[in-house]
Structure 1
Amino acid sequence: MRYRGVQDLSDMLICFNQVSRAQTSNILYYEVLDIPLPELQSLITLKVAFRHSTKDEVVSHSIRLSKNSTVGNAMNYLKSKVELSRSDAELRLIEIFPSHEKIENINETKWNLRAEEIPAEEANLGPQDRLIHVCHFMKDTILNKRQVRNFRVPFLFVIHECETLAEVKTRIQKELRVPDEEFAEWKFAFISMGRTEYLKDTDIIFSRFQRRYAYGWEQYLGLEHTNTS
């Protein structure tokens, strides 16, 4: 909706169809705004889901800021609206955006935006660390068994240079609080550009992730299991 001033109510009832022919409607739709429309058009509203670091919950928030605001501004605003695990906690927006990024550059209709606390172990990554994406997935048995279908909430995870998959699995199980019997059925895979490579417990997965920070979804660690949610 764009602000357009008219002198008469009848002018508001004129609409144009797909072939640009003017037609008059006898129905007028309206929405009550909490601020004037011209002011609203100078702002951008981000719908952000906040994932609590210690509780298994995700809460949605609407953040309304000026278009020249940065991601850092948005995260500072969000910190005043959510419960943090510690007073000095910092937040990040997923996908990861630099804190100086203008929020008007983010297309929130395309991306489902998510914010979360930055764990202490991820604050200062060294060359022997990688921050990777981890996603739950199932094989698409209806359309194409080679394709994967993601579900649940993806997350970021730090892996270390000499860790085996078995060691990574132990840490992931602890973070997700999955019972042993259920976790034993899970399979782990390296997924790159849609291709799935299943991993063994003895594999060192560090070398498969070339970038220190996970800025895209081209590569991720996949957790294959039944969707029970």
Structure 2
Amino acid sequence: MLVHYNQTSDILYYEVLDIPLPELQCLKTLKVAFHHATKDEVVVHSIRLPRNSTISDVITDLKTKVELSNPDTELRLLEVFYHKIYKIFPPHEKIENINDQYWTLRAEEIPEEEKNLGPHDRLIHVYHFMKDPNQNQQIQNFGDPFLMVIREVETAAEVLERIQRKLRVPDEDFSKWKLAFISMNRPEYLQDTDVVSARFQRRDVYGAWEQYLGLEHTDTTSKRSYTANQNRHTYEKPVKIYN
């Protein structure tokens, strides 16, 4: 009989490795969710590289496994947790200490608009949220977070128009959405004529995820059908996993 954590068992489990164990121990495997710029489906790939590899090596390997919207498209790797983006990995960072057991590693194409930022343009975080009536109206994030460039004098109405095009949300649904500047989990709802960039002047915040643009609307994730899954306005893409 086998004993494990004070539990006895007569079953022994084993795994058949595809490479010798000493060689495997020198490698690190990361599960990376690839978000295509125009396709709705998210594809999760297992990337296995030497432990001293960098984020740049991960991206190079991933490019051999995915279909890009353009052969010259650049990719970046993000760390996502509870529907917020906590980190944009620099290309030179080593992968050895990256933990993908609790955090989601997301690779995505870098939009052209982000490559030529003006001196007053800002790259901000945009998250979906709703207020939980059972938790004193506390903010609950959901769906896929994303990054977006806002221009110096761009109004809330103009930003909303770009968001609607990006997410492909029908007019009837989008008319119910509200735009808010959120800092330290407190929403400040924006009027159509408000200049969005003016809200992002403060620097004394803990992290970018604590100061973001919020899209308030109903979370339909758990209710949607397979057909609805094919539309991006469900705010969370269907996932396919490759090992």
Does structure 1 residue 68 correspond to structure 2 residue 60? no
Residue aligning to 1:82: 66
Does structure 1 residue 154 correspond to structure 2 residue 124? no
Structure 1 counterpart of 2:174, from 169, 173, 183 = 183
Aligned pair in 2 of structure 1 residues 93, 16: CA closer, same or farther (>3 Å)?
A: same
Structure 1 Cα separation of the partners of residues 32 and 149 of structure 2 = 23
Structure 1 counterpart of 2:127, from 117, 128, 135 = 135
Structure 2 Cα separation of the partners of residues 15 and 184 of structure 1 = 57
Structure 1 Cα separation of the partners of residues 23 and 134 of structure 2 = 48
> 3-state SS of the aligned residue for 1:208?
helix
Residue aligning to 2:76: 92
- TM-score scaled by length of structure 1: 0.84
Aligned pair in 2 of structure 1 residues 204, 16: CA closer, same or farther (>3 Å)?
A: same
Structure 1 Cα separation of the partners of residues 4 and 220 of structure 2 = 48
Aligned pair in 2 of structure 1 residues 179, 14: CA closer, same or farther (>3 Å)?
A: closer
Structure 1 counterpart of 2:155, from 138, 159, 164 = 164
Identity %: 69
Does structure 1 residue 121 correspond to structure 2 residue 110? no
Segments of structure 2 that go 5 or more residues without pairing to the other structure are 79-86, 222-243
Structure 2 Cα separation of the partners of residues 218 and 105 of structure 1 = 24
Structure 1 Cα separation of the partners of residues 220 and 156 of structure 2 = 24
Q: Which of structure 1's runs of 4+ aligned residues deviate more than 3 A?
A: 13-17, 23-26
TM-superposed CA distance for 1:117, in Å, is: 0.4
* Larger radius of gyration between Structure 1 and Structure 2: 1
RMSD: 1.9
Structure 2 Cα separation of the partners of residues 62 and 187 of structure 1 = 37
> 3-state SS of the aligned residue for 1:132?
strand
Greater RCO (Cα-Cα under 8 Å, separation 6 or more)? 2
> 3-state SS of the aligned residue for 2:56?
helix
Segments of structure 1 that go 5 or more residues without pairing to the other structure are 1-9, 18-22
Structure 1 counterpart of 2:41, from 57, 71, 79 = 57
Which amino acid letter does the alignment assign opposite residue 143 of structure 2?
R
Which amino acid letter does the alignment assign opposite residue 182 of structure 1?
D
> 3-state SS of the aligned residue for 1:63?
strand
Structure 2 Cα separation of the partners of residues 126 and 66 of structure 1 = 38
Deviations 1:155-211 (A, max 9, x none): 111101110111101111111111111111001111122122111111112122246
Does structure 1 residue 222 correspond to structure 2 residue 222? no
Residue aligning to 1:103: 95
